[in-house]
Amino acid sequence: MVALRGKEIDAFLARPDAGRPIVLLYGPDAGLVRERADALIASAVDDPNDPFSLVRLDGDELSAEPSRLVDEAMTVPLFGGRRAIRVRAGSRSFASGIDTLAEMGVKDCRIVIEAGELRPESPLRKVCERAKTAVAIGCYPDTERDLAKLMDDELRIANLRIAQDARAALMSFLGGDRQASRNELRKLTLYAHGKGEITLEDVMAVVADASELKLDPIVDGAFAGRPDIVETEFAKAMIAGTYPGVIISAAQRQAAWLHKSALAIADGQPASAVLDGGFPRLHFSRKPAVETALRNFSVARLAAIIEQLATAALDTRKQSTLAAAIAQRTLMAIAANAKRRG
């Protein structure tokens, strides 16, 4: 069984084994699947833009004619050189083509297959894990350690440092999709070019606005006691491909902000001053929902919700296949809690 794990994956990607030219990349992190596929193709051919060097195939089309994959892989280039085939798997199986190809001793051609999440009994996954000339690599959402390494790598390339509070905030915005995380990091380093150190203000200005914009209705709906809004907006976010952990992170930040604001109001500060001041600055359109949330929850109950969200954040990382269900259940529970008030 050739299913790589952990450091084995890094070692294979750094120096792919010529004896295993068939590579299946699968999993819920579509960005990581694409990034690894790009790297494998780049190291397999001299020019990825040359149609004679790189052939792109659709998995659903291959299912009707699996032998086409074999024909393409065994084709000898007219002008010599290395070749690669990039296959995007769909809903139909072309595993029989992989099975045949795995027994034929492919030379000077790498076959990279990109797929979404595959169950262990999936024909495509089973054939690639069983074949001696293939490998299967799972691509799952980054752990905290992975994100820290990704961040450090991009900062080193840009010759930038980052303040501790900025680092903590940035970590909460990343995850779920490797390519999206890398894009956000590169956008931030470009924004901070020449500054030497990235500040919390930089992170909030560049990363937070983009990632929070579509999540506000979900989070505000939860704290305002509107499960109907949570259900509708959460469904939209899932259709759009939003990683559930990102929504939980947004709820964590909102819970912390509400807790801090509730403490200030309890100490005698006017609610209007609390809402108009502080950082990050609250957008005027959100004030009614936030005012409702502050009426709904006491300081003690907000502290309990912070703990509840921390548990949910950990669970979404540990159980990526259940992340959406965990996130939605947690937010619906907060909405139900809000209705009790006090």
Those residues whose C-beta lies under 8 Å from the C-beta of residue 322, and which sit 6 or more positions away, are 315, 316
C-alpha span between 231 and 159 (Å, rounded): 43
- Do residues 52 and 169 share a domain? no
47 pLDDT higher than 70: yes
Domain boundary, last residue among 160, 190, 207? 207
Domain boundary, last residue among 207, 224, 259? 207
Which residue, among 21, 36, 56, has the nearest Cα to 137 in the 3D structure?
Answer: 36
Q: Tell me, what CATH number does 236's domain have?
A: 1.20.272.10
- Do residues 9 and 108 share a domain? yes
Report the pLDDT value the prediction gives residue 243, as an integer from 0 to 100.
Answer: 75
Helix (H) or strand (E) holding 158: helix 144-158
Residues in the chain: 342
Across 172-176, 279-283, 298-302, least confident range: 279-283
Quick one: pLDDT band at residue 329, thresholds 50, 70, 90? Answer: very high
The rounded mean pLDDT for the chain is 85
Across 119-123, 166-170, 209-213, 319-323, least confident range: 209-213
213 pLDDT higher than 60: no
- Do residues 134 and 151 share a domain? no
209 pLDDT higher than 90: no
- Do residues 222 and 200 share a domain? no
**SS3 sequence of 275-342:** HHCCCCCCCHHHHHHHHHHHHHCCHHHHHHHHHHHHHHHHHHHHCHHHHHHHHHHHHHHHHHHHCCCC
- Do residues 164 and 227 share a domain? no
| Of 174 and 79, more confident | 174
238 pLDDT higher than 70: yes
Residue range 246-257, pLDDT digits in tens: 788 888 888 888
Report the pLDDT value the prediction gives residue 160, as an integer from 0 to 100.
Answer: 96
Give 107's DSSP letter: -
Which residues is 110 bridged to in the sheet? 84
Report the pLDDT value the prediction gives residue 197, as an integer from 0 to 100.
Answer: 95
C-alpha span between 173 and 208 (Å, rounded): 7
Helix (H) or strand (E) holding 137: strand 134-138
Do β-strands 161-162 and 197-198 pair in parallel, antiparallel, or remain unpaired?
parallel
Domain coverage including residue 68? 3-138
Residue range 61-120, pLDDT digits in tens: 999 998 899 999 888 776 667 899 999 998 888 999 999 998 887 888 999 999 988 888
280 pLDDT higher than 60: no
Report the pLDDT value the prediction gives residue 279, as an integer from 0 to 100.
Answer: 46
Do β-strands 161-162 and 54-58 pair in parallel, antiparallel, or remain unpaired?
unpaired
314 pLDDT higher than 90: no
Q: Tell me, what CATH number does 166's domain have?
A: 1.10.8.60
- Do residues 155 and 228 share a domain? no
- Do residues 303 and 228 share a domain? yes
- Do residues 183 and 240 share a domain? no
Those residues whose C-beta lies under 8 Å from the C-beta of residue 22, and which sit 6 or more positions away, are 98, 101, 102, 106, 111, 113, 128, 131, 133, 134, 135
Report the pLDDT value the prediction gives residue 124, as an integer from 0 to 100.
Answer: 93
Residue range 3-46, pLDDT digits in tens: 787 788 989 999 999 899 999 999 878 788 989 999 999 999 98
- Mean pLDDT confidence for 299-304: 88
- Do residues 117 and 150 share a domain? no
- Do residues 42 and 70 share a domain? yes
278 pLDDT higher than 70: no
- Do residues 13 and 119 share a domain? yes
Q: Tell me, what CATH number does 95's domain have?
A: 3.40.50.300
166 pLDDT higher than 90: no
Reduced to 3 states (helix: H, G, I; strand: E, B; else coil), residue 25 is strand
Report the pLDDT value the prediction gives residue 79, as an integer from 0 to 100.
Answer: 66
Contact 206, 191 (CB under 8 A): yes
Number of domains the chain contains? 3
C-alpha span between 250 and 217 (Å, rounded): 11
Those residues whose C-beta lies under 8 Å from the C-beta of residue 29, and which sit 6 or more positions away, are 139, 140, 141, 142, 176, 177, 178
| Of 337 and 318, more confident | 337
C-alpha span between 111 and 101 (Å, rounded): 10
- Do residues 108 and 9 share a domain? yes
Query: How many C-beta neighbours within 10 Å does residue 295 have?
Result: 13
Report the pLDDT value the prediction gives residue 277, as an integer from 0 to 100.
Answer: 63
Q: What secondary structure does DSSP assign to 199-262, as a single string?
A: -HHHHIIIIIHHHHTTTHHHHHHHHTT-HHHHHHHHHHHHHTT--HHHHHHHHHHHHHHHHHHH
Reduced to 3 states (helix: H, G, I; strand: E, B; else coil), residue 86 is strand
User: What's at 285, amino acid-wise?
Assistant: S
Angle between helices 95-102 and 67-74 (to 10 degrees): 40
User: How many angstroms separate the most distant Cα atoms in the chain?
Assistant: 81
Quick one: pLDDT band at residue 141, thresholds 50, 70, 90? Answer: confident
Domain boundary, last residue among 164, 180, 207? 207
197's tokens: 């150190």
173 pLDDT higher than 80: no
Angle between helices 216-223 and 227-239 (to 10 degrees): 160
